A = this chain, B = another copy of it.
């Protein structure tokens, strides 16, 4: 399993992943063929199978991992420091901006809906992403609870789950409508809910 890769090999492998990711963003998973990836990355068929012996499935999984990492990375440092209402709003704006820029291509969504059933690995990638994401939000809620800005009675994890669902749904709606209205509404509703918790 631990094949030795030279510096050049690692670079090529990475180039393939990023090229495939870009191709998928532009054309979608189903329409993207190995030959497209090959052409875009200036590689040959044998290289693709050299670096991803299990073929397309393995490559797609690697792309999914790559994209999942991006999702969280793009929200930092805001997501890691939800320690004031200002910070929460900054995060909100970051998320909206990130997805506005991404537009109607959500590589992860498509990858998972395609790999989902066949590859248990794909679901694991997304589950892991969700767990981490939710946990960072929950940390933020707990921090604000310590400051007395959010009611203690709220279950941090469950509330974070609800908020995260709103974000996911906002993104999904955007994929069909092209607008971030729902994403913004969900985030605002969630944050407003947190704020209101100490006022009632």
Residues of A within 8 A of B (CB): 27-28, 30-31, 104, 109-110, 112-114, 116-118, 123, 126-127, 130, 158-159, 161-173, 175-177, 181-183, 185-186, 188-190, 192-193, 196-197, 199-200
How many monomers of this protein are in the complex? 2
B110 lies within 8 A of A175 (CB): no
30 example contacts (A-B, Cβ-Cβ < 8 A) are as follows A28-B113, A28-B117, A30-B114, A31-B118, A109-B113, A113-B113, A113-B114, A113-B175, A116-B176, A123-B176, A127-B177, A130-B176, A158-B185, A159-B189, A161-B181, A162-B166, A162-B189, A163-B189, A164-B173, A164-B182, A165-B170, A165-B172, A165-B183, A165-B185, A168-B169, A168-B172, A168-B173, A168-B182, A169-B171, A189-B190
Q: A112 to chain B: which residues have CB within 8 Å? A: 175-176
- The residue on B at minimum CB distance from A111 is B113
Q: Which of A28, A110, A113, A165 has the largest number of chain B CB atoms within 10 A? A: A165
A182 lies within 8 A of B170 (CB): no
A31 CA to B114 CA, complexed, in Å: 9
Q: Which 8 A-B pairs have the closest CB atoms?
A: A169-B169, A168-B169, A162-B189, A165-B169, A165-B186, A162-B185, A161-B185, A199-B200
Q: A158 to chain B: which residues have CB within 8 Å? A: 181, 185, 188
Q: Which of B127, B170, B176, B177 contacts A169 (CB 8 A)?
A: B170
Q: Distance in Å from the Cβ of A189 to the closest Cβ of chain B?
A: 4
A188 lies within 8 A of B164 (CB): no
Q: A166 to chain B: which residues have CB within 8 Å? A: 162, 165-166, 169, 186, 189
